[in-house]
Structure 1
């Protein structure tokens, strides 16, 4: 008899529901600790578990998902947006941990999501470093904007200006330290060192962008196809058309990895200025009536396809293979 297990993940505890033949057979709560994880594994080991379903919520699901998989249990980590839509489909109005867990078990039984494979620890460490650099860079940009505002006033106290400048300097030091750590991790694996070099062949992708992009892409299963990677990044287009009355413009789904989209934005912006192929493609879309941001997102999606090819095939980035030459002829 198939058993579907769901885990509603919280910061301090997890609620676990087991479901068989369309009904909940048990519900329990475990601490979000190593001991709690082992207690859950011990309970599940006695059953024939078809799938353990978790949402990819922040960082709290990861240790538990890895522990479950290492114990030999089948684990599926799903996009929270997918479960949110499933809850709407079921007309679920209440929001409690127990009800979420029960509904998540039903999701597993109905949808039978694909199983998850835990990435290598080194690659997970690289991803964590890349995301921390991303967060610190955003904080530094905010600090620079605050400093600019302070310098714009003649009455600003020197103490405040010096304090903000010191904060920016400290952020620079932290970003530099983490960047060195990321390069060192990458250097330990010759294959990933080559990937980094291949990424940097693209116009607009320097060391910082290459590290951020590699950190996010290296943990993905290599069997994914380019459209699946685009969906993972939230760069797929969501259409809204029905009959003759509903015909809205396509929009990005954004139901994906925000770190990856963020890492692609500046390289794409640079590419439409300095890469002839990307520039011709961008201008062709703009002439067809696309907004500038829509055309830029299309370049981001093309760049992502090229970067994924670099990972799968081990070849340097080549924009001429991504963009049609007819755009260059019409430029």
Structure 2
């Protein structure tokens, strides 16, 4: 959606505790700083109104409360990937960095570019994503405890109380992880029964990965093509060449999507054997001399391509799916 020529654009640089705001008043840039809390949001609305277009970066979780508040007030909101703003500043040879300058650049970006209005995700997606994040944190803690326990076992002198404490902690973490994983999957299967069933029909993708993929894609509600999924997962190829002298390896971007990337990579080992299209792709790349890891990454991309086509078409996986997903 293009920004209206007369619509006021407000650029906001969001940090944990504060908001740096830039907007025009009688064609002159004005800066405002408020706290990143409901009182600060009210001050912002009072100053700039609900008719303005509010543009901000997707800075971790810190922008969410503001975005939800503005949306609830009926104000149009745009949330931009920070990498896009960074590239925009570089393209215009921007120098120096401060919260005020960043807010100014964000406002300018929103004014000069085609932008899409932000919409909050379904509540069930948000809640499930929070469960998923906690599961990942608990898994990391479990790995740390396992490493500590293994290190303790190698000690010539071992404190039995310390070992007992670590084992109890490990048992508690495993119980919590299992409970949360079961709850997460049950919630997703209840809310998105059709989508989970469709995704699970793909050889190489199990129910848990289907749930992870569904959350990653936001229920596939706002995804218009499979390339968006590949880019969001950080699986897009990035070539590094220059002239005739520099011939770097083609690598993936690895920007965002680390969880789904790791899940799909594990799935690719099974998919290259049991998934007809993935097997054909893997064998063809290996026959051309590509290394196994590169071929597996291509399989990950193929799985995302299949997932998009299957969910959007409503047709479960078939061995001849290559004719549909090509």
Shorter-chain TM-score: what band? 0.7 to 0.9
- Partner residue of 2:152? 150
- Partner residue of 1:7? 12
**Superposed displacement of residue 41, structure 1:** 2.6
Distance 1:153 1:308, change over 3 A: farther
Distance 1:224 1:98, change over 3 A: same
Q: Secondary structure at the match of 2:249?
A: strand
Matched, 1:40 2:44: yes
Q: Distance in 2 between matches of 1:165 and 1:323?
A: 52
- Partner residue of 2:309? 309
- Partner residue of 2:58? 56
Per-residue Cα deviation, 1:203-234 (whole angstroms, up to 9, x for no partner): 33333322222222135543521112211211
Question: TM-score scaled by structure 2?
Answer: 0.86
Q: Secondary structure at the match of 1:249?
A: coil
Q: How does 1:1-331 map to 2 (within 5 A)?
A: 1-19=6-24, 25-45=29-49, 48-49=51-52, 51-189=53-191, 192-275=192-275, 277-318=277-318, 320-322=320-322
Does the 8 Å CA contact 1:237/1:250 hold for their aligned counterparts? yes
Distance 1:93 1:165, change over 3 A: farther
Indicate the larger mover: 172-181 or 277-286.
277-286
Structure 2 unaligned regions, length at least 5: 1-5
Structure 1 unaligned regions, length at least 5: 325-331
Does the 8 Å CA contact 2:128/2:215 hold for their aligned counterparts? yes
Q: Distance in 2 between matches of 1:322 and 1:133?
A: 35
Q: Distance in 1 between matches of 2:130 and 2:223?
A: 23
**Superposed displacement of residue 302, structure 1:** 0.9
**Superposed displacement of residue 254, structure 1:** 1.9
Distance 1:95 1:318, change over 3 A: farther
Per-residue Cα deviation, 1:7-43 (whole angstroms, up to 9, x for no partner): 111111111111489x752211222222322332333
Does the 8 Å CA contact 1:282/1:299 hold for their aligned counterparts? yes
Q: Secondary structure at the match of 1:228?
A: helix
Distance 1:24 1:183, change over 3 A: farther
Q: Distance in 1 between matches of 2:312 and 2:62?
A: 30
Q: Distance in 2 between matches of 1:318 and 1:130?
A: 30
Question: TM-score scaled by structure 1?
Answer: 0.85
Q: Distance in 2 between matches of 1:101 and 1:107?
A: 10
Give the count of matched residue pairs.
319
Does the 8 Å CA contact 1:119/1:219 hold for their aligned counterparts? no
Q: Secondary structure at the match of 2:205?
A: coil
Q: Secondary structure at the match of 2:61?
A: coil
Q: Secondary structure at the match of 2:298?
A: helix
Q: Secondary structure at the match of 2:240?
A: strand
